[in-house]
Structure 1
Amino acid sequence: MREIVFDTETTGFNPAEGHKLVEIGCIEMINRVETGRDFHRYINPLRSMPAEAEAVHGLSENFLSDKPLFGDVAADLLEFIGDAPLVAHNANFDFTFLNWELQACGLEPISLTRMVDTLAIARTRHPGAKLSLDALCSRYGIDRSQRIKHGALLDAQLLSQVYVELKGGRQIGLSLAESSAALVDDAAFAAVPIERLFRPARPHRASDAELARHAVFVSTLVEPLWNELTQSA
């Protein structure tokens, strides 16, 4: 099954208030294994960058000024994601911005039925726990040392690993065992008579000769310890 794990960076929290998408990063997975294909674009929002947003992702107005507009990358983005389910952390936020930008370009929004929200999955798996991307990386032992600031592609890469763990980790499923068993030739494991060799019980009592030798050995001991123990008793 093909899935796309993605993340976005924006100028703020609400596109209805004039905030825009400034970065998008996508990771392709097939059967929950990364294929090595990704999609990453910086986007010129044609507006100023609030200081609080820049502090989160480090993308300045000057840096984004020569980047393409969303409309210039929309076709390539839609081609990359195809009809695959889209996995994101707090996916409502990313879908809201993505669909707002698509509709602003006169394109059809992406159906919410394709949305897979890892935050909702994490709430079910770990109720009451911290569920940020950083917290989940720590829980599952995923290296996030390069995550100094938020970045759409890096966060999508981290999320792809978190998503695998949330769905059970890289374990061999029973279905694989069943399919492998179907390949086994039962005739090769037909019951074969086993010839069992009868062996008499081994004697464990010391022989008279062994007892005699032991008595001679004991008689050579000078002031054996057990004599003291016997006298004190």
Structure 2
Amino acid sequence: MNRTDRLYALVEELRAAAPRPRSARALARRFEVSVRTVERDLAALQQSGVPIHAEPGRTGGYVLDKERTLPPLTITPAEATALAVGLHALAGTPFAADARSALHKVLAVMPGRERRAAAELAGRVGLLVPAARPARTAGPVVPAALREALSAGRVLRLEYADAAGAVTAREVEPLAFLGGAEHWYLAAWCRLRQAPRGFRLDRVRAVTALDERAPHRPVDLAALDTLGSDVVTLGELGM
């Protein structure tokens, strides 16, 4: 069994046992590897976002939170490849890192045969980038605090550069993300200007999430439009 298949099998072994724990020693015997290898595999799964936690004590071990994971998916290799192609379009946006994480989680719960077929199909798909336009993967790295701004609901402190390069400190209350062909913006209530403003993500020099919760403000995306074009929400796209 290769490591990829073993990682998948470890998740399913813990899922079948949950909520009872499985010790690293028992898992090592089950998969005929060393305890150190199992512990390294479990650490890799935890780092990738799989909700596995360790329970201390003589009868303790590793437990998987079944409510926060997916069972094996009946997803076809073509569907998995379509997801990979679609998520590629999020490169350079606030959701690029989350897209990669989501794809890895989907692949992790696919049965081994389908996962290998998906990898083979994906290896035969190439995306052409127009020569006159740089790849979006060259876009800015979006800090985690910005990616999580809306769901976290906390006030942010930004160091923000204007078009001339002058940097100011702003405390803002996140409202929405707005994306266009060239740039992504954080729409937020700017406490410095006492008005809604759009902050280009590639001009954010530093960001800190404060402990203060942002007050609730109604959001009208059309009114927040910084891009000079119609705003289409994910709800209108069926999401």
Greater relative contact order: 1 or 2 (C-alpha under 8 angstroms, separation 6 or more)? Answer: 1
- Give the alignment's TM-score, normalised by structure 2: 0.28
Q: Which structure dedicates a bigger proportion of its chain to helix?
A: 1
Q: Which structure dedicates a bigger proportion of its chain to strand?
A: 2
- Give the alignment's TM-score, normalised by structure 1: 0.28
Which one has a bigger Cα radius of gyration? 1
